[in-house]
Amino acid sequence: MSDNRQVYRGIKKGLLQLYPKQLTGNQVRHLNTLTGMMTGIVQGKRCHFETMASKTPGSGKVTSRVKRFSRYTQNERIDQETSVCHNK
Confidence (pLDDT) at 4 = 92
Decide: helix, strand or coil at residue 77. Answer: coil
Q: What is the pLDDT along the chain (88 residues), one digit of tens a residue?
A: 589 999 999 999 999 988 777 888 888 999 999 999 999 999 999 999 999 999 999 888 999 999 999 999 999 888 765 665 544 4
Q: Provide the residue count of the chain.
A: 88
Confidence (pLDDT) at 34 = 94
Confidence (pLDDT) at 53 = 96
Confidence (pLDDT) at 56 = 93
Per-domain residue ranges for the chain? 3-87
Residue 66 CA to its chain's centroid (Å): 12
- Pairwise CA distance, residues 20 & 7, whole Å: 22
